[in-house]
Amino acid sequence: MGAAREPHIPDGQPTGQSFGAAAATRSNQPDSSKVPFVNQTREAPAWKKSVINLDSGFKGLMLVAALVVLGIVGLIVAELMQGSALAWQKFGIHFFFGSEWDPVSGGFGALPFIYGTVVSSLVALFIAVPLAVAVAVFVTEMCPKPLRRPISYATELLAAIPSVIYGLWAIFILVPILRVHVEPWLMKYFSWTGLFTGPAYGIGMLAAGVVLAIMIVPIISSITREVLAVVPQPQREAALALGATRWEMIRMAVLRNARAGIMGAVILGLGRALGETMAVTMVIGNSPSIAKSLLAPGYTMASVIANEFNEATSDLHRSALIEIGLALFIVTIIVNILAGLMVWTVTRGTPARTNA
């Protein structure tokens, strides 16, 4: 076969480019060594000194601001530990396993609140995860382009609505619907699970779970969108080139690659749900009992603080509430760090996908 004639450098560019790059690096060096100011006059040292002072003064000031952030978290920890010392001395670790909560007789156990917090959050995740992941997948992979922005904007707005307004809406709109339509239906068909028994109040764990779900959909779906976006385009193309349908491509190349990140998004949602206060307080029924039925009223750690802290008369009661706050603080931090790590392992170093 007749090979090409004479020396041809394919496209001619590579060598040219490398020359250019080398030249650029070389020419940079003398410049940067020239940057420091040259002492030309006698005044220069004084002038330079004042510049240096201002420079380090400015840096110091910014450093103070940064240290304030550290200080605040330190103060939070100190304040919570100090405030809860009394309850900790009195009950020790049993505080978290006792189910009696009686401010009058002075017996405090946090179990009902822990139970309510966990159960309402799990209900919320159960509802929110499919919704949030579906929105994320739909927006990044499926929907026609003109719909993309409106849908993302709608989820963003959901995130901007304050908790107290969700609570208001839930009390007057959601709860009646649950009581009249949803709960009787659940009782009829699913009472065998034991999760849907007893009178349909409307308010209760289920209502709290549903409103929490709406509130955490935006965070889960926006983080999920981020992790889907960093799945490299070649992965999608590889799947499509094998003859995968769009859904198969999503399953094989996108969701599989993004698993850990989506899990992180879900955990982040859990973190939000655990600490959410107002909306839950308004619809959960505020009764410190442990019931298997999701239709029964419950209580969460955040709501008991919201409801009782201002009215607490004894130091022990106040201290017990602060200890619940401390527990909530620790748990949400652990959950958030965990979630952050999972999202980070997926998104680190990868620039967002450009549709090239």
Q: Which residues, 286 to 305, sit near other proteins by CB under 8 A?
A: 302, 305
Which residues have a Cβ under 8 Å from the Cβ of 261 and sit 6 or more positions away? Answer: 223, 224, 226, 227, 230, 342, 343, 345, 346, 347
Q: How many residues bind other proteins (CB under 8 A)?
A: 119
Between 263 and 282, how does the x/- string for binding to other proteins read (CB under 8 A)? --------x--xxxxx---x
| CA pair distance 47, 37, nearest whole angstrom | 11
> What is the footprint of other proteins within residues 87-126 (CB under 8 A)?
none
Site for other proteins (CB under 8 A): which residue of 21, 22, 23, 76?
76
Find where tokens 């392992």 sit: 345
**Candidate residues 49, 94, 181, 256; the one interacting with other proteins per rule CB under 8 A:** 256
Q: How far is the CB of 142 from other proteins (least distance, A)?
A: 6
49 binds other proteins (CB under 8 A): no
The stretch near other proteins (CB under 8 A) out of 96-104, 106-114, 118-126, 328-336 is: 328-336
Which listed residue (178, 200, 223, 250) binds other proteins by CB under 8 A? 250
The verdict on 131 binding other proteins (CB under 8 A) reads yes
| Long-range interactions of 256-262: CB distance < 8 A, separation 24+ | 257/231, 258/224, 258/227, 258/228, 258/230, 258/231, 258/346, 260/342, 260/345, 260/346, 261/223, 261/224, 261/226, 261/227, 261/230, 261/342, 261/343, 261/345, 261/346, 261/347, 262/133, 262/224, 262/227
Site for other proteins in 4-23 (CB under 8 A): 4-13
**CA separation (Å) from 224 to 136, 274, 296?**
6, 19, 33
Residue with tokens 């560019």: 13
**Which amino acid appears at position 103 of this protein?**
P
- Report how far apart, in Å, the C-alpha atoms of 8 and of each of 5, 123, 203, 234 are: 8, 68, 79, 31
In the bound complex, what is the minimum distance in angstroms from residue 320's beta carbon to other proteins?
12
Say whether residue 350 binds other proteins (CB under 8 A). no
Q: Based on CB atoms, which residue is closest to other proteins, 112 or 269?
A: 269
Q: Residue-wise over 139-172: b if at least 16 C-beta within 10 A, else e?
A: bbbeeeeeeeeeebeebeebeeeebeebbebbbe
Q: Please tell me whether residue 68 binds other proteins under the rule CB under 8 A.
A: yes
Query: For other proteins, which residue of 44, 75, 85, 180 counts as binding (CB under 8 A)?
Result: 75
| CB of 310 closer than 8 Å to CB of 119 | no
- The residues, ordered by sequence, that sit 6+ positions from 85 with a Cβ below 8 Å of its Cβ are 319
Site for other proteins in 156-185 (CB under 8 A): 156-158, 160-169, 171-173
Return the range that interacts with other proteins (CB under 8 A); candidates 94-102, 181-189, 200-208, 323-331: 323-331
24 in contact with other proteins (CB under 8 A): no
Q: Which of 46, 63, 85, 341 binds other proteins (CB under 8 A)?
A: 63
Residue from 143, 195, 230, 263 binding other proteins (CB under 8 A): 143
For the bound state, the minimum distance from the C-beta of residue 330 to other proteins, rounded and expressed in Å, comes to: 10
- Binding flag, residue 154, other proteins (CB under 8 A): yes
What is the footprint of other proteins within residues 221-240 (CB under 8 A)? 221, 232, 234-240
Q: Which of 337, 341, 345, 350 binds other proteins (CB under 8 A)?
A: 337
